[in-house]
Amino acid sequence: MTGNCGICDGECNHFISLLGVHICRECEQDIVNSDIGDIKYQYYKSVIKKLWIDYIIQFSQKV
Ligand SMILES: [Zn+2]
């Protein structure tokens, strides 16, 4: 099973699924290992926020 990462858009063989979006191992590790003061953390925070918004929109359209 392959897919495109929802964060870096790279093709990945191993990924976790967050809110229906694939996140590759590298991005997952990056998120886990970034500090709160890290610029990357701020970036991922905004990306994940967007995933949530997309997810909520998707969910509300189904109802
Ligand atoms: Zn990725």
- What's the CA-to-centroid distance between 7 and ligand 1, angstroms? 5
- This prediction has a pTM of 0.69
pLDDT along the chain (63 residues), means of 10: 84 85 90 90 90 88 71
Based on the structure, what is the number of domains in the chain? 1
- What's the CA-to-centroid distance between 61 and ligand 1, angstroms? 27
- What's the CA-to-centroid distance between 16 and ligand 1, angstroms? 10
pLDDT at site 37? 92
Domain that holds residue 37: 3-62
Report whether 6 contacts 46 (CB < 8 A).
Answer: no
pLDDT at site 1? 60
pLDDT at site 42? 92
Distance (Å, whole) CA 49 – CA 53:
6
Report whether 6 contacts 23 (CB < 8 A).
Answer: yes
Report whether 62 contacts 54 (CB < 8 A).
Answer: no
